Amino acid sequence: MNLKLKIWRQKDAKSPGGFVDYQLDDVQPEMSFLEMLDILNQKLILKDEDPVAFDHDCREGICGMCSLVINGIPHGPDRATTTCQLYMRRFEDGASITIEPFRASALPLVRDLVVDRGALDRIQQAGGFVSVNTGGTPDGNLIPIPKPAADHAMDAAACIGCAACIAVCKNASASLFTAAKISHLASLPQGQPERYQRAKAMVIQMDKEGFGSCTNTYDCEAVCPEQISVNHITLMNRDYVKALLSGE
């Protein structure tokens, strides 16, 4: 396969950036998208040019770091797929592919295709945990949890924090990410003592980070590689309002 790549290059957040065109030949269809970028970088290094900076770690669709906007779609054209799970057979020979970073003021650019997701960590640190001292680790079978509640919690816990929901949202809202982290613990007995304080603290931190408001377009659900439902946002909003009304 021969490809025409249009990649966003930017030295750092303070430097001007722009798209740079690259021609890459002999791309194998079985390569993943990140492997294709590895090949490009090898060629650039051999020519004494700076390689394209992009984020990655596990390359198994688990860590959420391989976040790229590919032809205008976070993670590319396939649903329920991270960038590292996207294969070049999905593109036609001679295709033009535009690659750019996730764009949101709360996710500042570091270099080229890399953004700083520290805001998501701070939202999690604001309340996405159980702080009640439960002593030693209890046997999992000692706390009966109804299967619907367990399934709901597991669906929310599947969020990998990749920020695709933010990149696709016209308001750069982090509502789906925050709601998944809140809903996960709100579905379990262990999360009940701090349930409403947790929702309040995390929503306040989300707003403090500069993310926009949710306008219910459902684009976040459409691009989420874990297909997390927007129904979790409903639970977050309900718990947040209860926290405000109860003064918790």
Domains within the chain, CATH numbers bracketed: 3-105 (3.10.20.30), 117-246 (1.10.1060.10)
pLDDT at 186: 96
**Does the pLDDT of residue 183 top 80, yes or no?**
yes
pLDDT of residue 114: 98
List Cα–Cα distances, 119 to 125, 172, 227, in angstroms.
Answer: 10, 12, 22
pLDDT of 248 reads 74
**Residues 7-38: pLDDT tens digits?**
999 999 999 999 999 999 999 999 999 999 99
Q: What is the pLDDT of residues 50-69, one digit of tens each?
A: 999 999 999 999 999 999 99
Q: Which residue bears the tokens 């949101």? A: 104
pLDDT digits (tens, 9 = 90+) for 124-181: 999 999 887 666 766 767 788 999 999 999 999 999 999 999 999 999 999 999 999 9
∠ CA 114-117-123, rounded to 5°: 175
Tell me the sheet residues that pair with 62.
none
With left for phi above 0 and alpha for psi between -120 and 50, is residue 227 left, alpha or beta? left
Looking at the DSSP bridge assignments, the partners of residue 24 are 3
Q: What confidence tier does 96 reach under pLDDT thresholds 50, 70, 90?
A: very high
What pLDDT shows up at residue 135?
A: 67
The pTM of the full predicted model, rounded to 2 decimals, is: 0.94
d(CA 221, CA 203): 19
Percent of the chain with pLDDT over 70: 98
d(CA 54, CA 191): 36
What is the pLDDT averaged over residues 207-226? 96
Average pLDDT, the chain: 95
pLDDT above 70 for 91: yes
